[in-house]
Each structure stands twice: as structure tokens, then as C-alpha cells.
């Protein structure tokens, strides 16, 4: 790959800016100063140093965020803050996007990547990737609800959901539950509870496929996935 493309992809500016910067002589490849923007580098093998600092090239970035409430899972919004606004510049330069959406008030696990293929694979309805939500419900969640969800419920627009696995953690005037679903219809968890006459008052995603939310992340914090986590996601097949 051309050195100007590599540097530009790594956030050193536009191709034009990078060209100027190369002219200045601060870029060293395998010990030699490189000024030619067309100079070919192998990002896997060559050592690229810019102003004394090694540049590690990567094409993709994979981030796990504990999404805070009040922030949109979109890339751009003229009105409000988005999850992308919460990223450091060194991550924003990869132009990542959220894998699917959580509602504005929903918290929890959100993957953010620029790997379109992985995102597609995780969101494709054919793959049935399970997503588990912890929720506080206004009202008493019962074994009837567990049965109804296991069979699939009818949403307000007539859509019949796939079976969902509802686990009651505590039941009372307010109940706490975990719900695992394999689809991602608009407001699905809220609408599934509405179909049995109950209201979601708090919602947090706690896992997606093989990946649990890293509970050490505070709301709004994020971290890169480990290589193992990325591999697990790529290899994930629903049993
Ligand atoms: N279901 C919802 O209702 N909201 C979300 O954010 C995710 C799933």
C-alpha cells in the first residue's frame, strides 16, 4: 500500500496534507527517510516511524461500549449526542458505526466497528444472534408471561415474534427479568412487554452472541475487543 494512503488512513490528514508532511522528512520506513507519497509499504512487515513514534497500521477497529442513557446509537445527529461523539479521536478516524441500535434511553452493550461484514453477520435476521437484556418492569411478571414469550407474542403492528427466553429474577409491583431474543425489531423488548400489558421502565443489554458486557466499563466508557473476542464473534454460530 502507498505510504500516503497508510498515513492518511491512520489519521495523519488528507492525502494532500500527508504529501506535505512527507516532504518535511519526518517519516522513516525501515530506517530510511521516505518523502515519496507513492512509496510502497507492507503494513504487516515494515516499520513506519513518524516523528519518532511507530505507527501501527490496522484496517479495522472493534469497540465495546457500555452505552449511557440519553445518547443516540447513530453516527451523526444534528440534535443530540451520539455514541460516536463519545469516542476518542484516535478511534473516530476509523469511521466506525454502531452494530444495530439501542434506544436513546437504553443502556449497555453496544459494539462499534468499521467492519461492515461482521456487522452484517451479527445483524442478519438469518443468523438469529441472541441478545440478552436485563430489564425492570412496572408490574408483576408471571410464569404466564414466560410461556407467552416462549411461544412468541403478537406486537402492536400484528408482527408475531420469534420465541424469547424470559427469566424472572424477582417478581412484584416491580419485577426484574432477563430476556433473550434473536431478533431486533424496533423497540422489541418494550413492545413484547406491552403485548402482555406491562411496561419496561429500565433496559440494559447485557450480552450479544458470545459476548457479555464487560461490567468493569462505566456508563459511557468503552474498550477495544481482544483478538480472541473478535475471533469468537466472527466464528459465532448459533447452536
Ligand atoms: N428493545 C427495546 O425496546 N429497546 C432497545 O433499545 C433494545 C431492544
Q: Please write the tens of the pLDDT for every residue from 13-27.
A: 889 999 999 999 999
Nine-digit cell string for 76 = 451523526
Tell whether ligand 1 has an atom less than 6 A from the beta carbon of residue 189.
yes
Of the two residues 233 and 74, the one the predictor is more confident about is 233
CATH number of residue 105's parent domain:
3.30.70.580
Domain shared by 121 and 226, yes or no: yes
Which residues, listed in sequence order, are joined to residue 66 by a DSSP beta bridge?
A: 109
Could you tell me if 143 and 199 lie in one domain?
A: yes
E-strand stretches of the chain: 27-29, 32-33, 48-50, 53-54, 62-67, 97-98, 107-113, 131-138, 165-170, 174-181, 199-208, 211-212, 222-224
Do residues 69 and 110 both lie within one domain? yes
Residues 148 and 186 in one domain: yes
Domain hosting 28: range is: 3-54
Q: Are residues 204 and 143 in the same domain?
A: yes
pLDDT value at position 238? 64
63 is written with which cell numbers?
469497540
CA of 234 to the centre of ligand 1 (A): 24
What mean pLDDT comes out for the span 140-145? 98
pLDDT at 127 over 90: no
Same domain, 20 and 118: no
The three cell numbers locating residue 107: 443502556
Alpha helices by DSSP H, 48-142: 89-92, 116-123
Cα 98 to Cα 111: distance, rounded to the nearest angstrom: 6
The pLDDT of residue 239: 53
Catalytic residue among 4, 36, 103, 156: 103
pTM tops 0.95, yes or no: no
Q: Which residue has the cell 407467552?
A: 148
Number of domains in the chain: 3
Pocket test residue of 187, 201, 202 for ligand 1, highest count of atoms within 8 A of CB: 187
Q: What is the pLDDT of residues 59-107, one digit of tens each?
A: 899 999 999 999 999 888 777 899 999 999 889 989 999 999 999 999 9
CATH number at residue 24: 3.10.290.10
pLDDT at 204 over 90: yes
Contact partners, residue 114, CB within 8 Å, separation at least 6: 60, 61, 94, 95, 96, 97
Mean pLDDT across 41-68: 93
Q: Is 103 a catalytic residue?
A: yes
Cell, residue 136? 425492570
Which residue out of 135, 155, 190 has the highest number of ligand 1 atoms within 8 Å of its CB and is therefore the one to mutate?
Answer: 190
Kindly state whether residues 110 and 219 are assigned to the same domain: yes
Q: Answer whether 8 contacts ligand 1 (Cβ < 6 A).
A: no
Does residue 57 have a pLDDT over 60? yes
For position 142, which CATH number holds?
3.30.70.1560
**Are 219 and 204 in the same domain?**
no
Mean pLDDT score, 217-225: 98
Taken as a whole, the chain contains a residue count of: 239
Amino acid at each position: 500500500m502507498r505510504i500516503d494512503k497508510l498515513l492518511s488512513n491512520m489519521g495523519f490528514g488528507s492525502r494532500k496534507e500527508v504529501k506535505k508532511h512527507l516532504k518535511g522528512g519526518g517519516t522513516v520506513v525501515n530506517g530510511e527517510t521516505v518523502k515519496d507519497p507513492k512509496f510502497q509499504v507492507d503494513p504487516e512487515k515494515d516499520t513506519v516511524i513518524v516523528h519518532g513514534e511507530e505507527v501501527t497500521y490496522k484496517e479495522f477497529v472493534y469497540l465495546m461500549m457500555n452505552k449511557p442513557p440519553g445518547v443516540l446509537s447513530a453516527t451523526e445527529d444534528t440534535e443530540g449526542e451520539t455514541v460516536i461523539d463519545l469516542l476518542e479521536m484516535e478511534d473516530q478516524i476509523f469511521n466506525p458505526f454502531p452494530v444495530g441500535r439501542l434506544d436513546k434511553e437504553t443502556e449497555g452493550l453496544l459494539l462499534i466497528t468499521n467492519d461492515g461484514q461482521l456487522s452484517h453477520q451479527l445483524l442478519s435476521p438469518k443468523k438469529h444472534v441472541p441478545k440478552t437484556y436485563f430489564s425492570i418492569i412496572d408490574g408483576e411478571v408471571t410464569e404466564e408471561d414466560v410461556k407467552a414469550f416462549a411461544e412468541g407474542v403478537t406486537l402492536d403492528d400484528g408482527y408475531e415474534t420469534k420465541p424469547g427466553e424470559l427469566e424472572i429474577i424477582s417478581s412484584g409491583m416491580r419485577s426484574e427479568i432477563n430476556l433473550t431474543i434473536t431478533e431486533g425489531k424496533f423497540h422489541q423488548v418494550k413492545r413484547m412487554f406491552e403485548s402482555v400489558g406491562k411496561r419496561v421502565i429500565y433496559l440494559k443489554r447485557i450480552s450479544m452472541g458470545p459476548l457479555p458486557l464487560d461490567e468493569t466499563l462505566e456508563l459511557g466508557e468503552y474498550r477495544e475487543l481482544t483478538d480472541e473476542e473478535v475471533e469468537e464473534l466472527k466464528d459465532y454460530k448459533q447452536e
